[in-house]
Copies of this chain bind each other. A is one copy, B any other.
Amino acid sequence: MKHPAINPTREQDYASWYLEVIKAADLAQHSPVRGCMIIKPWGYALWENMQKILDQRFKKLGHQNIYLPMFIPLSFFNKEAEHVTGFAKECAIVTHHQLVEDQEKGLVPGGELEEPLVVRPTSEALFGYVFKQWIASYRDLPMCLNQWANVVRWEMRTRMFLRTSEFLWQEGHTAHASAQEADDHAKMMLETYRWFAEHILAIPVICGEKTENERFGGADKTYTIEAMMQDGKALQAGTSHYLGQNFSKAFEVTFQNKNNEPEHVYNTSWGVTTRMIGALIMTHGDDDGLRLPPGIAPYQVVVLPIHKNGISQPELDQYAFRIQQTLESFAFDGQCLRVHIDNRDLSGGEKSWSWYKKGVPIRIEIGQRELDEQKICLVMRTEGYKARRFLSIDAIFDVVALLDQIQTSLWNEAKQRMDVNTVALSSQTEIEQYFAQDGCRGFVKAHFGLSKHAESQWCKMHGVTVRCQLPESPQGPCFVSGKMAPLVILARAY
Which residues in A have some Cβ–Cβ distance to B below 8 Å? 29, 31-33, 36-41, 44-45, 47-48, 64-74, 76-78, 84, 88-100, 106-109, 111, 116-119, 126, 129-130, 133, 139, 145, 149-150, 152, 154, 166, 168, 345
Contact = CB atoms under 8 A, between A and B. Distances in A.
B68 A31 contact: yes
11 contacts: A33-B69, A33-B117, A36-B71, A41-B65, A45-B64, A70-B150, A84-B99, A91-B98, A94-B95, A94-B119, A95-B96
B116 A109 contact: yes
- Which of A44, A67, A71, A92 has the most CB atoms of chain B within a 10 A radius of its CB? A67
A66 B40 CA distance: 5
By Cβ-Cβ distance, the 6 closest A-B pairs, closest first, are A36-B69, A41-B64, A39-B67, A88-B99, A97-B154, A93-B96
Given A90-B97, A97-B92, A154-B97, A32 B73 contact: yes
Contact of A88 (B93, B98, B152): B98
Q: Which of A38, A47, A78 has the most CB of B within 10 A?
A: A38
A349 B488 CA distance: 55
A299 to B, nearest CB: 12
Contacts of A90: 97-98
How many copies of this chain? Answer: 2
A338 to B, nearest CB: 12
A168 to B, nearest CB: 7
A33 to B, nearest CB: 5
Given A33-B72, A70-B150, A92 B93 contact: no
Nearest to A274: B67
Given A90-B98, A93-B97, A94-B92, A69 B107 contact: no
A72 B48 CA distance: 24
Given A91-B99, A98-B154, A126 B31 contact: yes
Nearest to A26: B134
Contact of A99 (B68, B70, B74): B74
Contacts of A118: 99
B92 A71 contact: yes
A122 to B, nearest CB: 14
A201 B150 CA distance: 28
A245 to B, nearest CB: 22
A170 to B, nearest CB: 13
B78 A107 contact: yes
A476 to B, nearest CB: 42
A349 B328 CA distance: 46
Contacts of A98: 88-91, 93, 154
A45 B92 CA distance: 29
A71 B154 CA distance: 12
